[in-house]
Amino acid sequence: MEDDKPWDVRIFERIPSGVDTTLIEENLRLTATERLENMRRVLRFVQGVRATRGDRLPEAS
């Protein structure tokens, strides 16, 4: 029965073949807090790049 499988196995079974799941697996190993910290880090990077080009994103909170 499919419900007996772990949640992550059920998710990966639905991903089409040929899709690289490496980043998904890597991110699922992180806590929600770690994923948010990574997202904030990327946002700060994008803001820095945009600032050097002269356009800005709203400040991250």
Cα 1 to Cα 35: distance, rounded to the nearest angstrom: 31
Cα 36 to Cα 23: distance, rounded to the nearest angstrom: 15
Higher pLDDT pick, 6 / 59: 6
Over residues 7-61, the pLDDT tens digits come to: 888 988 999 989 999 988 898 899 999 999 999 999 999 989 888 887 655 666 6
Would you say the C-alpha torsion 12, 13, 14, 15 has a positive or negative sign?
positive
Sorted by where each begins, the domain ranges of the chain are 2-53
Residue 24 is predicted with a pLDDT of 87
Helices (H), ranges, the chain? 7-14, 22-28, 32-53
